[in-house]
Structure 1
Amino acid sequence: MTAVLPARVPDGELLAQVERLVMTESPSEDLALTRACAGVVGGLVSEVLGERPQELDVDGRPHLLLRSGAERPVLLLAHLDTVWPAGTTADWPFSVAGDTATGPGVFDMKAGLVQGLHAVRTAGVAGVDLLVTSDEEIGSPTSRSLIEREARRARAVLVLEPSADGAPKTARKGVSMYRLLVTGRASHAGLEPEAGVNALVELAAQVAALAALGDPAAGTTVTPTVARAGTTTNTVPATAETALDVRAWTAAEQQRVDDALRALTPTLDGAALQLLGGVNRPPLEAAASTALMALAARCAAELGFALPDGRAVGGGSDGNFTAGIGVPTLDGLGAVGAGAHARGERVSVPALAERTALVARLLQVLTNDDAQEDTP
Structure 2
Amino acid sequence: MRARLPELLADIEELVTCESPSADLAAVARSADVVARVGTRRLGVPPERIVLAGRTHLRWRFGDAPAGVLLLGHHDTVWPFGSLATHPYTVDGEVLRGPGCFDMKAGLAMAIHAVAALADRTGVTILVTGDEEIGSPSSRALIEEEAAGRAAALVLEASADGGALKIARKGVSRYEVRVSGRAAHAGLEPERGVNATIELAHQVLAVSALADRALGTTVTPTVASAGTSANTVPAAGEFAVDVRVRDAGEQNRVDAGMRALMSIVDGSGLRVAGGPNRPPMSEEASADLFARASGLAAGLGLAPLTGVAVGGGSDGNFTAAIGTPTLDGLGAVGGGAHADTEHVLVGELPPRAALLTALIGDLLPTGND
1:229 aligns with 2:257: no
- Which residue does 1:367 correspond to in 2? 364
Report which stretch shifted further, 84-93 or 24-33: 84-93
**SS at the partner of 1:293?**
helix
- Mapped to 2, the partners of 1:226 and 1:168 lie a distance apart of 31
- Which residue does 1:72 correspond to in 2? 67
- Which residue does 1:108 correspond to in 2? 103
1:321 aligns with 2:315: no
- Mapped to 1, the partners of 2:199 and 2:80 lie a distance apart of 36
Task: Tell whether the 8 Å contact from 1:284 to 1:320 is kept in structure 2 after alignment.
Answer: yes
- Which residue does 1:124 correspond to in 2? 119
1:207 aligns with 2:204: yes
Once the two structures are TM-superposed, the CA of residue 8 in structure 1 deviates from its matched residue by 5.0
- Mapped to 1, the partners of 2:79 and 2:258 lie a distance apart of 33
1:22 aligns with 2:16: yes
**Aligned residue type for 2:128:** V
1:37 aligns with 2:31: yes
Report which stretch shifted further, 165-174 or 93-102: 93-102
- Mapped to 2, the partners of 1:270 and 1:288 lie a distance apart of 49
Indicate how the Cα distance of structure 1 residues 362 and 293 shifts in structure 2: closer, same or farther if over 3 A, else same: same
1:152 aligns with 2:152: no
> Aligned match of 2:174 in 159, 173, 177?
177
Task: Tell whether the 8 Å contact from 2:69 to 2:364 is kept in structure 1 after alignment.
Answer: yes
- Which residue does 1:374 correspond to in 2? none
Once the two structures are TM-superposed, the CA of residue 355 in structure 1 deviates from its matched residue by 0.8
1:356 aligns with 2:353: yes
Task: Tell whether the 8 Å contact from 2:296 to 2:355 is kept in structure 1 after alignment.
Answer: yes
**SS at the partner of 1:276?**
strand
Q: Deviations over 1:196-216 (max 9, x none)?
A: 332221221111111111111
Q: Deviations over 1:283-325 (max 9, x none)?
A: 1121111111111111111111123321111111111111122
Q: Deviations over 1:90-119 (max 9, x none)?
A: 343322222222222111111111111111
Report which stretch shifted further, 159-168 or 339-348: 339-348
Structure 2 unmatched ranges of 5 or more = none
1:61 aligns with 2:58: no
Task: Tell whether the 8 Å contact from 1:103 to 1:344 is kept in structure 2 after alignment.
Answer: no
What percentage of residue pairs aligned between the two structures are identical? 56
**SS at the partner of 2:163?**
coil
Once the two structures are TM-superposed, the CA of residue 192 in structure 1 deviates from its matched residue by 3.8
Q: Deviations over 1:68-127 (max 9, x none)?
A: 232422100011112222222234332222222222211111111111111112232321
1:140 aligns with 2:164: no
- Mapped to 2, the partners of 1:189 and 1:344 lie a distance apart of 44
- Mapped to 2, the partners of 1:87 and 1:163 lie a distance apart of 26
Q: Number of residues paired by the alignment?
A: 365
- Which residue does 1:97 correspond to in 2? 92
1:256 aligns with 2:253: yes
- Which residue does 2:335 correspond to in 1? 338
Indicate how the Cα distance of structure 1 residues 89 and 240 shifts in structure 2: closer, same or farther if over 3 A, else same: closer
Structure 1 unmatched ranges of 5 or more = 1-6, 372-376
Indicate how the Cα distance of structure 1 residues 140 and 303 shifts in structure 2: closer, same or farther if over 3 A, else same: same
Report which stretch shifted further, 44-53 or 85-94: 85-94
**Aligned residue type for 2:33:** G
Once the two structures are TM-superposed, the CA of residue 167 in structure 1 deviates from its matched residue by 0.8
Superposition TM-score, scaled by structure 1 size: 0.92
**SS at the partner of 1:163?**
coil
Q: Deviations over 1:9-33 (max 9, x none)?
A: 4221211111111112222222222
